[in-house]
Amino acid sequence: MTAYQPPGDPRRDGYDAVVLAGGAARRLGGADKPAVRVGGRALLDRVLAACADADTTVVVAGARPTARPVVWAREEPPGAGPVAALEAGLRRTRAADAVVLSADLPFLTERTVRRLLDALRASGAEGAVLTDPEGRDQPLVAAYRTAALRRELVRLTTEHAGLTGLPLRRLVAGLDLTRISDPVASFDCDTWDDIATARSRIREHGHVLDEWISAVKDELGIDLDVDTGVLLDLARDAAHGVARPAAPLTTFLVGYAAAQAKGGPEAVAEAARKAAALALRWADEDTAEDRPGAG
């Protein structure tokens, strides 16, 4: 194996993401785990959504269709293990900080990724690692200084004449780490029971609406964050003040109007405000007394 050589001139702003999506998935009977769907979306796509603002996202695995463009990499030889896979992904990054993730995290969010980066930068440590409910480090849900990772990769390559088969703990053992806890985001899917648990959880009342909206946006290629509460209030007003079928039709027309205006969340909010006001005026006419000037 060729000795590891770090690239020069890393950027100091933003961050890159390296997602490890290989592995044999033996506990899933050899299934293609990154492609397993939870809430209608492949596990890999759910992780990619959580690091969507990365400058560069590298996925270490065989290339496949994904919800957004990524850079593909492959460890040599294929199946050489997580340290070799991380090295292959890191070669294609340039930022000073990198988020390193596995591809089986159904509940990872942008907020958790940002917490990891904030903890890394505020602490001055070389890595910020998520811990699971038992307090164990999850080195594949973490943010690292890329210079520190490259230093340790050089050390391991020298000590072991390569990286094949090395466990990830050998790499992170030489890093100064800080830790944050997030029992939900650290949940990973190693077995079919884990998959079933994840699928059940996102259908719970407190999660299903957000999960559905995220899935629809991914499916339609929409990158737009709007105030869902405003739209739900509008739907309620239209259903109660006009007629039940008016709710979905009105929210559709609001979206269409915002698109016609080539606007973002503000355009949606303004169109929803106007439609809600109209629905309330419509409802008021049913309660106003039938005399001049009433209502």
Residue type, 272: A
Strand partners, 18: 58, 100
Collapsed DSSP state (helix, strand, coil) of residue 72 = strand
Residue for token pair 């290629």: 221
Do 178 and 123 touch, CB atoms closer than 8 A? Answer: yes
Condensed to tens digits (0 to 9), the pLDDT of residues 122-151 reads 999 999 999 988 889 999 999 999 999 999
Strand partners, 177: 127
pLDDT of residue 5: 41
DSSP symbol at 181: E
Torsion of CA 1, 171, 181, 193, to 10 degrees: 50
pLDDT band at 282 (very low <50, low <70, confident <90, very high): confident
Condensed to tens digits (0 to 9), the pLDDT of residues 36-57 reads 989 888 999 999 999 999 999 9
The two tokens of residue 54 are 């990365």
